[in-house]
């Protein structure tokens, strides 16, 4: 499709802009560059503006049905942008950052406009979301419409400021957190049937749901943080109760993907209303607490999240959290524009009725890496069956939710043959259990004798600490000890 080729050209323009920036730096290193004639730079910027306007014209022609005219205008726009970017590096005083700004602007214009870019093929896979069979909601919604679900009348991409913190978060997702991003994407595809309709019914963008989930749990339904937040969207217990998440027959519904997504969508909409549709403040409230955010913001709900009056008072965790969520949402919408390729995932849900008793752990062993799942199916089976203990054997006839393609794999591998026998043998292995030895006392006590000094006492007990440390532990002044005094000394064991 010609639009895909054109948008690949856009990414090439970005690369050219980066190279010209480097070239300009190299050319000026160690030398004094004379002030450029304003006309030369002004002409390049004018060319850049014209290319941007032409791109907008191409979008209008596409919406009007003039596909051939749109392609011609688009080609001219890209040629003009490419030519201006190439000349910028050789023109003293030209700022390549302007070309990156135009690239960002065109990405925002692209949302929902060139639908061809949203259709995966063998060469360029953007968002390979598989239709979910039998689904009236998420499965029937075309890909382009999914990506441009509005938030309070605005495209989500309009609400994401491409500033320093968001760019830094983009780099983290594309480098150190890349594995986490891919795991989150795969996990989400299998949970999508449960979670996305909850967001859709609340009028919220799917990319936002993915961004929150990627940062909160990576799509691990049973995740629990050190602070006690639980579930795929990490609700604290009290907040969960406020939005209907509670214990049901011994099961904490914070771990239920559908219920968690419903509660999250209600929370986001509640906070958007409180913060005048400011998405960044809303996300900050979700992470740092709405009470704290309302105290910081006060009556001025138009204040920016990055305003020093707000930003400087937040914890580092919240400062990092907000741009990280927005960056993950942005990559969900524009993976191709960041040299990112999400894996193809068949997220259709199926079910199996057990032909022989088995636990989720046993099923994971006999399913192996079927259907090109190198990490195995344990996480997916747990996510799809959140109420089951993965180590508890389920009886014959029990129905488990599984990805649709695994129905045939189960019948072939896990009913008869060596794999279920091996899985059962491993699962029922007996590990000897012995009482733990008593913990060693972390300190020893020493009674000071006549003539002892603190230094001699420390050396006598193996030098496991210093005079300063022993003096601090025992609140000694000037390292002075008295006969008969009992000192605590760190144990060497």
Confidence at residue 113, expressed as pLDDT on a 0 to 100 scale: 40
DSSP count for the chain of H helices, then E strands: 20, 8
Domain presence at residue 393? yes
- Summarised one tens digit per residue, pLDDT across range 388-397 is 999 999 999 9
User: Domain end: 338, 359, 391, which one?
Assistant: 338
Band the pLDDT of 38: cuts 50, 70, 90: low
Same domain flag for 334 and 456: no
Same domain flag for 103 and 204: no
Would the pLDDT of 365 be above 90? yes
Confidence at residue 74, expressed as pLDDT on a 0 to 100 scale: 76
Domain presence at residue 109? yes
Confidence at residue 295, expressed as pLDDT on a 0 to 100 scale: 94
Confidence at residue 141, expressed as pLDDT on a 0 to 100 scale: 33
Question: Average pLDDT for residues 42-60, to the nearest whole number?
Answer: 80
Of 212-226, 254-268, 325-339, 432-446, the one with minimum mean pLDDT is: 432-446
Max Cα–Cα distance, the chain, nearest Å: 102
- Summarised one tens digit per residue, pLDDT across range 310-360 is 999 999 999 999 999 999 999 998 888 888 999 999 999 999 999 999 999
Q: Which positions ≥6 away from 447 have C-beta within 8 Å?
A: 484, 485, 486, 487
Band the pLDDT of 117: cuts 50, 70, 90: very low
Could you please report the per-residue DSSP string of 253-297? Answer: GGG-HHHHHHHHHHHHHHHHHHTTT-HHHHHHHHHH-HHHHHHHH
- At 457, is the secondary structure helix, strand, or coil? helix
- At 311, is the secondary structure helix, strand, or coil? helix
Confidence at residue 181, expressed as pLDDT on a 0 to 100 scale: 97
Confidence at residue 297, expressed as pLDDT on a 0 to 100 scale: 92
- Highest average pLDDT, of 22-26, 113-117, 394-398, 467-471, comes from 394-398
Domain presence at residue 343? no
Same domain flag for 422 and 324: no
- Summarised one tens digit per residue, pLDDT across range 195-227 is 999 999 998 989 999 999 999 999 999 999 988
Of 59-63, 64-68, 120-124, the one with minimum mean pLDDT is: 120-124
The total of structural domains in the chain comes to: 4
Domain presence at residue 433? no
Would the pLDDT of 19 be above 50? no
In whole angstroms, how large is the CA radius of gyration of the chain?
30
Would the pLDDT of 168 be above 70? yes
Question: Average pLDDT for residues 5-26, to the nearest whole number?
Answer: 43
Same domain flag for 315 and 421: no
Task: Please choose, from the candidates 124, 14, 21, the residue with its C-alpha nearest in 3D space to the C-alpha of residue 78.
Answer: 14
Band the pLDDT of 108: cuts 50, 70, 90: low
Question: Average pLDDT for residues 437-449, to the nearest whole number?
Answer: 81
Domain presence at residue 124? no
Same domain flag for 389 and 330: no
Of 139-143, 253-257, 296-300, 464-468, the one with minimum mean pLDDT is: 139-143
Cα–Cα distance, 296 to 304 (Å, whole number): 11
Domain that holds residue 467: 443-490
Is the pTM higher than 0.85? The answer reads no
Cα–Cα distance, 57 to 233 (Å, whole number): 41
Cβ distance 212 to 233 under 8 Å?
yes
Question: Average pLDDT for residues 16-34, to the nearest whole number?
Answer: 42
Would the pLDDT of 444 be above 70? yes
Confidence at residue 154, expressed as pLDDT on a 0 to 100 scale: 59
Would the pLDDT of 148 be above 60? no
- Scored b (16 or more CB within 10 A) or e, 311-348 reads beebeeebbbbbbbbbbbbbbbbbbbbbebebeebbbb
- Highest average pLDDT, of 98-107, 132-141, 263-272, 450-459, comes from 263-272
- At 443, is the secondary structure helix, strand, or coil? strand
Cα–Cα–Cα angle for 61, 66, 71, nearest 5°? Answer: 75
CATH code where residue 327 lies: 1.10.530.10
Domain presence at residue 437? no
Same domain flag for 158 and 271: yes
Domain presence at residue 137? no
Same domain flag for 108 and 218: no
Same domain flag for 183 and 82: no
Same domain flag for 406 and 451: no
- Highest average pLDDT, of 9-18, 82-91, 134-143, 340-349, comes from 340-349
Same domain flag for 250 and 273: yes
Question: Average pLDDT for residues 107-114, to the nearest whole number?
Answer: 50
Of 71-75, 191-195, 367-371, 382-386, the one with minimum mean pLDDT is: 71-75
- Scored b (16 or more CB within 10 A) or e, 361-379 reads bbbbbbbeebeebeeebbb
Same domain flag for 149 and 233: yes
Same domain flag for 229 and 309: yes
User: Domain end: 338, 367, 397, which one?
Assistant: 338
Instruction: Tell me 139's DSSP state.
Output: G
Would the pLDDT of 257 be above 60? yes
Domain presence at residue 129? no
Confidence at residue 10, expressed as pLDDT on a 0 to 100 scale: 47
Cβ distance 139 to 132 under 8 Å?
yes
CATH code where residue 481 lies: 3.10.350.10
User: Domain end: 312, 338, 364, which one?
Assistant: 338
Confidence at residue 322, expressed as pLDDT on a 0 to 100 scale: 95
């Amino acid at each position: 499709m010609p639009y895909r080729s054109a948008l690949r050209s856009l990414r090439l323009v970005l690369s050219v802009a980066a190279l010209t920036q480097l070239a300009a730096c190299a050319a000026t290193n160690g030398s004094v560059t004379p002030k450029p004639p304003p006309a030369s730079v002004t002409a390049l910027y004018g060319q850049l503006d014209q290319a941007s306007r032409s791109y907008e014209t191409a979008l209008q022609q596409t919406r009007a049905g003039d596909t051939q005219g749109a392609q011609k205008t688009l080609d001219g726009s890209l040629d003009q942008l490419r030519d201006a970017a190439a000349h910028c590096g050789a023109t003293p005083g030209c700022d390549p950052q302007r070309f990156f700004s135009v690239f960002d602007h065109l990405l925002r214009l692209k949302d929902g406009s060139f639908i061809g870019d949203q259709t995966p093929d063998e060469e360029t896979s953007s968002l390979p979301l598989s239709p979910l069979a039998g689904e009236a909601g998420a499965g029937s919604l075309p890909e382009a419409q999914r990506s441009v679900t509005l938030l309070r009348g605005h495209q989500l991409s309009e609400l994401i400021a491409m500033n320093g913190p968001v760019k830094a978060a983009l780099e983290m997702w594309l480098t150190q957190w890349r594995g986490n991003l891919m795991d989150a994407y795969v996990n989400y595809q299998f949970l999508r049937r449960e979670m996305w309709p909850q967001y859709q019914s609340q009028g919220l963008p799917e990319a936002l749901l993915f961004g929150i989930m990627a940062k909160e749990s990576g799509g691990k339904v049973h995740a629990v943080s050190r602070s006690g937040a639980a579930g795929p969207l990490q609700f604290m217990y009290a907040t969960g109760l406020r939005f209907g998440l509670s214990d049901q027959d011994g099961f904490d519904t914070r771990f239920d993907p559908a219920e968690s997504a419903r509660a999250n969508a209600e929370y986001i909409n509640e906070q958007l209303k409180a913060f005048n549709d400011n998405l960044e403040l809303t996300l900050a409230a979700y992470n740092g607490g709405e009470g704290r955010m309302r105290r910081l913001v006060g009556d001025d709900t138009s204040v920016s999240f990055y305003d020093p009056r707000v930003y400087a008072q937040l914890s580092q965790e919240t400062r990092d959290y907000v741009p990280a969520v927005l960056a993950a949402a942005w990559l969900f919408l524009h993976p191709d524009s960041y040299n990112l390729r999400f894996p193809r995932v068949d997220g259709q849900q199926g079910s199996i009725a057990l032909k022989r008793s088995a636990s989720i752990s046993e099923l994971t062993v006999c399913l192996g890496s079927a259907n090109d799942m190198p990490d195995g199916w344990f996480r997916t089976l747990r996510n799809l069956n959140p109420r089951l203990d993965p180590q508890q054997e389920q009886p014959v006839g029990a129905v488990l939710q599984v990805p649709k393609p695994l129905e045939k794999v189960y019948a072939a591998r896990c009913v008869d043959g060596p794999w279920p026998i091996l899985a059962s043998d491993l699962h029922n292995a007996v590990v000897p259990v012995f009482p733990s030895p008593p913990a060693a006392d972390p300190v020893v006590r020493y009674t000071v004798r006549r003539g002892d000094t603190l230094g001699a006492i420390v050396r006598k007990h193996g030098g496991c600490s210093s005079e300063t440390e022993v003096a601090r532990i025992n609140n000694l002044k000037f390292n002075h000890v008295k006969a008969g005094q009992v000192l605590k000394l760190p144990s060497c064991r």
